[in-house]
């Protein structure tokens, strides 16, 4: 059995992961409306990945005999100033998710919940990859600033991303 404090904290993380999915789906819609369909593809797949993360936490709670309590998910923003602004917001969001997962890991150590601590290691590594990827896209968008051709090359590259959650 998992302790109530850990159960509640993981339920809160599920909501954060579901919000992440909605945020990236909203960003996909934004990119689609400004005809950057490669970026839209990237964000849509990111939304699917974030939902897979939520389900990983969901299944973990069920496997531990805990109660899953789905909380309210806030509506995400719909419009950004430009592609760089959207990805900078994505990076800030990923940093906040990393902090949240690190707090869960700290709590699992405090509660001597070795199973949860072990499970969280996958998420900790995943967040390193998430931040690095989004940071690289931000850097490349900064390099392409003022260059419509550069933006369209990046958009074409983003269209190449494939679903890896299936």
| SS3 (DSSP) at 80 | coil
Tokens of 60: 């973990």
In degrees and rounded to multiples of 5, residue 36 shows phi and psi of -110, 75
pLDDT tens, position by position, 139-148 = 999 999 999 9
Residue 130 near residue 96 (C-beta atoms within 8 A): no
Position 163 confidence tier, pLDDT thresholds 50, 70, 90: confident
Under 8 Å between Cβ of 86 and 31:
yes
CB 80 within 8 A of CB 86: yes
**pLDDT surpasses 70 at 166:** no
Report residue 116: phi and psi, to 5°.
-65, -40
Confidence at residue 51, expressed as pLDDT on a 0 to 100 scale: 98
Burial class of residue 126, CB neighbours in 10 A (0-12, 13-18, 19+): middle
CB 84 within 8 A of CB 145: yes
pLDDT digits (tens, 9 = 90+) for 52-82: 999 999 999 999 999 999 999 999 999 999 9
pLDDT for position 40: 98
Mean pLDDT of 125-142: 97
Give tens-digit pLDDT for 87-121.
999 999 999 999 999 999 999 999 999 999 999 99
CA distance 21 to 55: 11
Cβ atoms of 30 and 78 closer than 8 Å: yes
Percent of the chain with pLDDT over 90: 95
What pLDDT shows up at residue 165? 63
pLDDT at 164 over 60: yes
Domains of the chain: 4-159 (1.20.1260.10)
């Amino acid at each position: 059995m998992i302790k109530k404090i850990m159960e509640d904290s993981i339920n809160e993380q599920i909501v954060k992961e579901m919000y992440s999915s909605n945020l990236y789906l909203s960003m996909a819609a934004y990119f689609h409306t400004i005809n950057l369909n490669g970026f839209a593809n990237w964000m849509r797949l990111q939304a699917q990945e974030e939902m897979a993360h939520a389900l990983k936490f969901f299944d973990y709670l069920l496997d531990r005999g805990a109660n899953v309590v789905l909380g309210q998910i806030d509506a995400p923003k719909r419009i950004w100033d430009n592609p760089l602004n959207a990805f900078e917001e994505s990076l800030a969001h990923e940093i906040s998710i990393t902090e949240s997962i690190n707090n869960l890991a700290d709590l699992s150590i405090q509660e001597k919940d070795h199973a949860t601590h072990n499970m969280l290691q996958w998420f900790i590594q995943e967040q390193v990859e998430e931040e690095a990827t989004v940071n690289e896209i931000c850097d490349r968008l900064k390099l392409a600033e003022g260059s419509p051709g550069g933006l369209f090359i990046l958009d074409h590259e983003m269209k190449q991303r494939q679903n890896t959650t299936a």
